[in-house]
Amino acid sequence: MLGFTLAVAMFTVLLFGVVPAFQATNLNLAPALREGRGMSISPSRHRLARGLIVGQVALSLLLLAGAGLFLRSLINLTEIDTGFDRQNVLLTGIDPTGAGYKVDARLEDMMERVESGVGALPSVQAAAFSFFVFNGGGWTTGVTVPGRPKSPNDGDVAHNIVGPGYFAAMRMPIVFGRGLDARDNMTARKVAVINGTIARTYFAGGSPLGRTFRVGDPDKDNSPEWLDLEVVGVVKDAKYDTLTEEPMAAAFYPHAQHIGYFYTLVTRSTGEPKALLPAIQRAVAAIDPNLPVTGSTTLSKVVDDSVLDRRLVAQLSSFFGILAAFLASIGIYGVMSYGIARRTSEFGVRMALGAARSDVLWMVLRESLGLVLTGVAIGLALALALSRVATSLFFGVKPYDPLAIGVPIVAMIAIALLAGYLPARRATRIDPLTALRYE
């Protein structure tokens, strides 16, 4: 990256240094000496300067419009309803294999004791183990409902195995029925809590409570623990893998009925979640000093990190857009200042013949505004064309979003007019007598 940046910098210096140097070698000295300081810019150089200004404005608007679209998309993502409350939730890694636990009743007993011990801590509202959390992977298969024919639109169902306090820890509301609790143990009938999407898809036309389904294909060998799972509750739909995913069918099962290694402890507290980690470590050590606590993060950070690439794109595009606008304003200021310096006598003559200072100001600003509007028109066309190509990178934003594109247009025109106004204002202060005497 450093080498590439250096190469681009050197190429830029050579390109924009050599072209003016070649133009300088073609200068006709006789007219220059005759006209002195009052000579005008050569037509080719004038066109080059104006063209560069138009190009800078167009590029600036393109970058600012892109930044606006990415920022709007990012705001839409942060405001999306995830179906759970990301605030005040700590995700703690606990590795039972590091303490020698096997997949048996002792492992399940340890998990229940950890959930109970951590849940009893001050400021803790709920604690539960989970197979998966948001953006942490997943397990999907098809399901079948006895007596219901398969449909090509069924799709896969996301499965998760969790502790009884999981829905409270995530604040995922139970729509009707009940959540998972202590009665759902190994000796009880196998149960599941499903979300609204699976209820509408597989149990349309009636209540899913008390009905059963099977995980996987019933025509093939299947473990008995995944057959005839009774629906005891329906939970609100949520996001399980990404913020941009479409509504997905999902089912949740109690870990007491499906013993396994579930490494993530989800803990909701009333205060700062990170401050809870030492207390969790002590609670786990009190249950088993050999049980490793492998690390922690917050659910809020996990959600934020899931759109990290979009946030970086929005930040970078905003930075380069602002930088480009700044450079364009410097270019406009430089060109207008140089042009005014070369037209000192013209302005002096105009004002000596009766032109008002406001007329001179508008004459200079009109030239600046013409360059800006030309650049804005080109930049707008480019922005609309490229934004349509990049539609997949946006969320909840149309390529022609009026706010995302309108604000950069207004900002670019305002910046450019300010850059042109400063030298134009200086032109109105030219003393006609001084200008004529100098000429």
Say if residue 122 is exposed, middle or buried (CB neighbours under 10 Å; 0-12, 13-18, 19+). exposed
Q: In the predicted model, what is the mean pLDDT of the chain?
A: 85
Instruction: Name the band, by pLDDT with cuts 50, 70 and 90, for residue 367.
Output: confident
Q: Computed over its alpha carbons, how large is the radius of gyration of the chain?
A: 34
| Cβ atoms of residues 88 and 268 within 8 Å | yes
Alpha-helical runs (H) found in 343-391: 344-352, 357-389
CA 410 – CA 79 distance, rounded (Å): 26
What CA–CA distances, in Å, run from 414 to 52, 364, 410?
A: 19, 15, 6
CA 286 – CA 435 distance, rounded (Å): 91
Residue type, 254: P
pLDDT digits (tens, 9 = 90+) for 302-353: 999 998 888 888 888 888 888 888 887 887 777 777 777 777 677 777 777 7
- Average pLDDT, stretch 418-422? 79
- The pair of structure tokens assigned to 137 is 């992977």
CA 299 – CA 137 distance, rounded (Å): 14
93 forms beta bridges with 264, 295
- Average pLDDT, stretch 389-406? 79
Say if residue 434 is exposed, middle or buried (CB neighbours under 10 Å; 0-12, 13-18, 19+). exposed
| Cβ atoms of residues 131 and 198 within 8 Å | no
CA 367 – CA 361 distance, rounded (Å): 10
In this structure, the strands spanning 229-235 and 212-215 are antiparallel
- Average pLDDT, stretch 32-54? 62
CA 337 – CA 333 distance, rounded (Å): 6
CA 91 – CA 112 distance, rounded (Å): 17
pLDDT digits (tens, 9 = 90+) for 234-245: 999 999 999 989
- Average pLDDT, stretch 389-418? 81
- Looking at residue 267, what is its pLDDT? 97
- Looking at residue 39, what is its pLDDT? 46
Instruction: Name the band, by pLDDT with cuts 50, 70 and 90, for residue 147.
Output: confident
Q: How many other C-beta atoms lie within 10 A of the C-beta of residue 24?
A: 9
Whether 439 has a pLDDT exceeding 60, the answer reads: no
